[in-house]
Structure 1
Amino acid sequence: MDGLLKRKISIFRGYQDRWFVLTDDGLMKQYEKKPSNASQKAKWEINIMLADIDKKKDGLRFNITSNNGQSIKLKAQSEDEREKWTECFKKCNSLDEEDDEEVFTSDSNQEARFDEPEPKQGTRKRMESDADILEKFKEMTILKRTLIILPTFLQKLKKSMTIKDITGKNELKALDVFAFCIEYIWNTLFRRIKEQITNLNEENIHWVLTVPAIWNEDARQFMLEAAKKAGIEEERLTLALEPEAAAFCCKSDEIQRRATGQVGRLGSFDTGARFLVVDLGGGTVDITSNEILESGQLKEIHSASGGPWGGNTINTRIWKLLRGIFGDKTVTNFIAEHRDDYLALARKVELKKRTVTYDGKMRLEIPRSLIIEASKSNPDMFAEEYKDKVKLIKNILIFSPDVMLQIFKDGIDKIIIYVQDLLDQPNTKGVSTILLVGGYASCDLLKDAMKTKFNNLTVICPLDPDLAVLKGAVIMGHMDTPIVGRIAKFHYGIAMVPGIEQSPQLTSTKEEFHTIIRKGQPIQINEVVTGYDFPITFNKEEAFIQIYASDDEEPPKIISSDNCRKIGHIRIKLPKFRREARLKIGISTSETEFKVVARDEHTGKCFECVCSFLN
């Protein structure tokens, strides 16, 4: 069957016409327009064997989610046309285990992506339409430090999580907000590049989305979902950890320095060199520990870590100081009534904090609107306790060195202590270099403190530390496998009923924690790290395996809220087995994600599985 359908591209671009062809082997192929011949290559395709088909109440829309989690949203021109398509899908999906070999694949290295199964009908409130979301987004004002929200809620992240704007009055789903931001960047970049390369098409571009290294599986999947909603297809998207991207940038800079005859940095990026990357961003400080291999790839030698000590903590302290100087009510009124002046002052705070040194004063230009607001409530302008600590000359507020040092001290001390503890770990023995990257790395006070404390190591801060992640992401996008090995952050396990052959019998009736990856275990990228036998009963069409994580020193034996937490599940969609069967579950990892493939031990046939962490 073939014909014209409308495909949902993204929130902004909505549904657009595409030509689809459903082949005999269950592939739904997409073309820009009707293909001129059968050999014409499709722009995109999805395997609808064992796929879920979700028909919407409007009679036109229907969604397809494949067995490996790939999804597409479609709209037919009429209800009859939709029924014709869905009936064809049902015929493909009605196959039993032995009916068609094409349901299966013998390739056990297939990739499975993260996704969340659609909820059952009646379990979710009415979804807002794209028009509703767009209108609501237009009503919202600037979102205040949106990116810090994800690290804050790592342990309880959900698709339904919402974000309020700076007024606290308007609210949108966080997933929609991030999708809006990603699509805005997508549109802007593509338009600019198109001006230079007129024959450029969307499929010619591969996108790299960077995330903090300390984000857990659910936060990473959240960003993948947002990118998908923004219209970026998963085949053209790579997720990269920001510190590692910055490391590739610094490594590339060093190669260029040597190529032009400049003095190198004492072997910091030679084969076998070990280094820390301290990514000093706005919300978080992310630290990765890597070793350079002979191939030029990186191997992780300690799991990524960090904490909430980014540059925004300094911004918060400076704004707290301004509230103390001028009065809390005065600053609140200024923010509400003079939005443009507030945003301009916020930018100045961000830039000025980077120039503070141990013996210098900070000078901050204050908007006239704030001075007027302050004079209304206090003719003396300043609160009494700050008269000896700050001076206002015309519209320049001058902070004494003691005041500024106090603002920075706590955060810098925490970063230094954490880095030192990391260097004391056995896995990081031999580290000779510390790379400082990210916007906060431009702060002279922070750089001086790090170089003073770690004077036995080479501390490098590139000329544009805030661009290091961006440049490195481009480099990683041109590499097949930039990262070849990782270290597990937690003990990962799956729930297992006592009595299964693989483990000793336990007298407890509670579920056992079957360890699949141990904390601190080296993991080779794209290689199966563990296998697990899973029984399948007669006529079973899908199976769910719960995934747990534990931060204890040793993996727990019994699953309980005291020693582990549920982080997601594996969903296996199956044909109707006409017999009892056992599946061999193979779990591997890509650079940033889990991948799962199930193999029927009787026939050797394989099924791709879906890992969901956004429950």
Structure 2
Amino acid sequence: MMWTTDQEDRYEMASSKQDKYLLVAAIDFGTTYSGYAFSTRYDFQRDPTNTFLKQWVDPTSSMMNNKTSTCILFTKKKKFSKFGFEAEAKYLDLILDKDHMNWYFFRRFKMSLYDVQSTDEEVYLEDETGKPMAALIVFTESLKYLIDSLLNDARKQQSEIHLQDIKWILTVPAIWSDPAKAFMRKAAVGAGIDTEMLTIALEPEAAAMYVKHIPLERSVDGKTGDVFQTFSAGSKYIVVDAGGGTIDITAHQVMEDGNVKELIKATGGDWGGTRVDGEYIDLIKCLIGRTATDDLNQNAPNVFFEACREFESAKRTIKPKSDITFNVRIPSDIGETYTRTHSGKNLKSVEYVTTKRKKQFKISFIGDKLRLASSDAEKFFAKSVKKITKHLKKVFKQKDGRGISTIILVGGYAESLILMEGIKSSFPHMRTIIPQGAAWSVLRGAVIFGHDPSLIRQRRSKYSYGIDVFEKFNPAKHDENRKYEKDGEIRCGKIFSKLVEVDQTVTVGEYQGEGVYTLHAFGTKGDVKLYSSTEMNPQYVDDENCFFIGYILKPGHSFLLNEDIVIKMCFGETEIEFNAHQPKSQKTAKYYLGQN
């Protein structure tokens, strides 16, 4: 997105444009479940936690939920059909009618952005049957459905509300890369949101906003904890956002003015609730064997889908050290296929199963239900809980992690009693608190953030950021193998010109990185490339731990190649913002990574 001085006012109006909002709407686009919430200015002033939270009906069970399944269905012609629970139900119908092969059904696809490293990277997804589709289409159509649904609900309260009257908050994992955040902005804009009315919020930070506004919280051991103590000046806390796909961890310290600074850059991994589901499905596949598994994948692909949904509901009953047998319904097709592929043998005659991880389970059956001892059912959580607690221990051992007294556990997976007990037993000296409705604390907090984004004052840079430049060759400084001649000058190229270094404290709303350049120094097209690195002082942009994340200026921009340009970057916000300015010609541009 590029413009000259005459057009600059359009961007400068962004803050005043947001100030005129009538409604704050938040979308939590999750790996397993998604939802939205909103509130008016009046709602917020009366009670910051008072938000409208969409209720979704699951047609297969008629149960009400605060989120819907993150699934989307496209027709044979790749046209949007349905989203959420309705997409699941329709796809199951298509499978039963054996008419699903040419439709496009995607589920749990958010994790496809987990490893995106460049804004120029083309991302494709494979649907349930392996057919490809551009990820941008899948995400854009999903967000469009949620936006349209939210507008319909908002107009039931204020009939004259329009898209441009709404300040939109889209939540993303704090551990996501900058290009992944840029991808979500691009998808949201493609779905109809004005980029100037859109803010990307980090999920654990949004959850912290919600917790701060609740007077009292219960801890996982049943005791009451005073949140005012958690958010008193000088106190340190850590937020563990345990979702379906990712575990997102951020640590904060409360400053004297009540705002907070990030103590440790956001960390985490793909150890969420879907890992638990995967352990269970692994058990089922090992129980019936490869032949039966392949048969079901080819002839009845809905079976494992149904088995996973049954487990998703049943796993909530698993408690630590319980003497109550765990029961979960398995689809009848599993037993029938096993009998057919095992010479008439009855599945119910199997007493022991060994999984791929060499864990042994003693099983039994009653009716259509598989039964396990509670201690065996706990094994499904073992790897996930171990990964989370091990990572937290590393965080607490860091210099800036010392003195943290409270763990705030949020997200859908946070409601698991096994996870709660795992964290509590690993850190008995800390207060571990979970808000009422932990599964939607991110949503409610995102709405609060939209009304009052002032909580976070400082963050830690996740990477070192720099620009690809060349310099006059210096044998004492540069690699001899990188020497080349151009325009009569001996140069060294691909130098990492550092703007901000990894773990540096950056202030929200302030420009931290600034450099003055002549654009022809970047090449004949004057394009400026931004790189990031996990190292503190990378020398070259093609070093092992460096990677290209996007353009600051792309070829074809309107800036003058032979005039100095001042490039400033704001790294303290949730997205990287650029300000490019040529003092002589007064050409200026502001935009987010991936927009230009």
TM-score bracket for the superposition, by shorter chain length: 0.7 to 0.9
| Residue 302 of structure 2 is aligned to residue 302 of structure 1 | no
Q: For residue 570 of structure 1, give the secondary structure of its aligned residue in structure 2.
A: strand
| Residue 314 of structure 2 is aligned to residue 366 of structure 1 | no
2:2 pairs, out of 67, 76, 99, with: 67
The one-letter amino acid paired with 1:221 is A
1:283 aligns to what? Answer: 245
Check whether the contact 1:441–1:461 (CA below 8 A) recurs between aligned residues: yes
2:122 aligns to what? Answer: 160
1:521 aligns to what? Answer: 504
2:236 aligns to what? Answer: 274
| Aligned 1:318-333 pairs, distance under 5 A | 318-333=280-295
1:148 pairs, out of 88, 111, 114, with: 111
| Aligned 1:33-432 pairs, distance under 5 A | 66-67=1-2, 102=6, 133-134=78-79, 139-151=102-114, 153-155=115-117, 160-168=122-130, 170-254=131-215, 264-265=226-227, 267-334=229-296, 337-338=299-300, 342-360=304-322, 361-378=325-342, 379-381=345-347, 383=350, 385-386=352-353, 389-432=362-405
Check whether the contact 1:391–1:398 (CA below 8 A) recurs between aligned residues: yes
List runs of 5+ in structure 2 lacking aligned partners.
16-74, 83-90, 92-101, 219-223, 355-360, 481-491
1:583 pairs, out of 543, 565, 568, with: 565
Bigger drift between 415-424 and 182-191 goes to 182-191
2:458 pairs, out of 482, 485, 492, with: 485
CA spacing shift, 1:505–1:450, aligned 2, 3 Å: closer
Partners in 1 of 2:233 and 2:252 — Cα distance? Answer: 11
Bigger drift between 153-162 and 173-182 goes to 153-162
Check whether the contact 1:217–1:613 (CA below 8 A) recurs between aligned residues: no
1:457 aligns to what? Answer: 430
Shift of 1:602: 4.0
CA deviations over 1:244-299 (Å, ceiling 9, x no partner): 11111111123799xxxx86247112233211111111111110111234554332
Shift of 1:408: 2.0
CA deviations over 1:555-593 (Å, ceiling 9, x no partner): 12233332422222211776575x942222111135211
Q: For residue 543 of structure 1, give the secondary structure of its aligned residue in structure 2.
A: coil
CA spacing shift, 1:359–1:192, aligned 2, 3 Å: same
Bigger drift between 282-291 and 370-379 goes to 370-379
Partners in 1 of 2:534 and 2:76 — Cα distance? Answer: 43
CA deviations over 1:344-398 (Å, ceiling 9, x no partner): 4322212322332332342101233333333333423055643970000111211
The one-letter amino acid paired with 1:209 is L
1:561 aligns to what? Answer: 543
1:476 pairs, out of 449, 453, 457, with: 449
Q: For residue 573 of structure 2, give the secondary structure of its aligned residue in structure 1.
A: coil
Shift of 1:453: 1.1
The one-letter amino acid paired with 1:568 is G
Q: For residue 472 of structure 2, give the secondary structure of its aligned residue in structure 1.
A: coil
CA deviations over 1:133-159 (Å, ceiling 9, x no partner): 4179995353232122221x3336755
Q: RMSD between aligned alpha carbons? A: 3.5
CA spacing shift, 1:505–1:531, aligned 2, 3 Å: farther
The one-letter amino acid paired with 2:190 is K
CA spacing shift, 1:418–1:480, aligned 2, 3 Å: closer
Check whether the contact 1:571–1:609 (CA below 8 A) recurs between aligned residues: no
Partners in 1 of 2:438 and 2:242 — Cα distance? Answer: 9
Check whether the contact 1:110–1:608 (CA below 8 A) recurs between aligned residues: no
State the structure with more CA Rg.
1
2:588 aligns to what? Answer: 607
Aligned length: 490
CA spacing shift, 1:448–1:576, aligned 2, 3 Å: closer
The one-letter amino acid paired with 1:376 is R
CA spacing shift, 1:608–1:374, aligned 2, 3 Å: same
CA spacing shift, 1:266–1:140, aligned 2, 3 Å: same
Partners in 1 of 2:453 and 2:320 — Cα distance? Answer: 45
Partners in 1 of 2:410 and 2:473 — Cα distance? Answer: 49
Check whether the contact 2:217–2:227 (CA below 8 A) recurs between aligned residues: no
The one-letter amino acid paired with 1:351 is S
Partners in 1 of 2:79 and 2:12 — Cα distance? Answer: 42
Length-normalised TM-score, structure 2? 0.74
Partners in 1 of 2:448 and 2:135 — Cα distance? Answer: 29
The one-letter amino acid paired with 1:350 is E
The one-letter amino acid paired with 2:531 is Y
The one-letter amino acid paired with 1:160 is E
Check whether the contact 1:438–1:469 (CA below 8 A) recurs between aligned residues: yes
2:357 aligns to what? Answer: none
Q: For residue 193 of structure 2, give the secondary structure of its aligned residue in structure 1.
A: coil
2:470 aligns to what? Answer: 497
Shift of 1:612: 4.5
Partners in 2 of 1:358 and 1:107 — Cα distance? Answer: 54
| Residue 518 of structure 2 is aligned to residue 535 of structure 1 | yes
Partners in 2 of 1:234 and 1:533 — Cα distance? Answer: 28
List runs of 5+ in structure 1 lacking aligned partners.
1-65, 69-92, 94-100, 112-129
Shift of 1:332: 4.7
CA spacing shift, 1:392–1:517, aligned 2, 3 Å: same
CA spacing shift, 1:482–1:332, aligned 2, 3 Å: farther
CA spacing shift, 1:347–1:463, aligned 2, 3 Å: farther
1:443 aligns to what? Answer: 416
Shift of 1:196: 2.6
CA spacing shift, 1:326–1:156, aligned 2, 3 Å: farther
Partners in 1 of 2:274 and 2:394 — Cα distance? Answer: 23
CA spacing shift, 1:108–1:187, aligned 2, 3 Å: closer
Length-normalised TM-score, structure 1? 0.72
Partners in 2 of 1:576 and 1:393 — Cα distance? Answer: 73
Shift of 1:483: 2.3
1:23 aligns to what? Answer: none
2:358 aligns to what? Answer: none
Identity %, equivalent residues? 26
CA spacing shift, 1:110–1:141, aligned 2, 3 Å: closer
CA spacing shift, 1:487–1:335, aligned 2, 3 Å: same
Shift of 1:446: 1.2
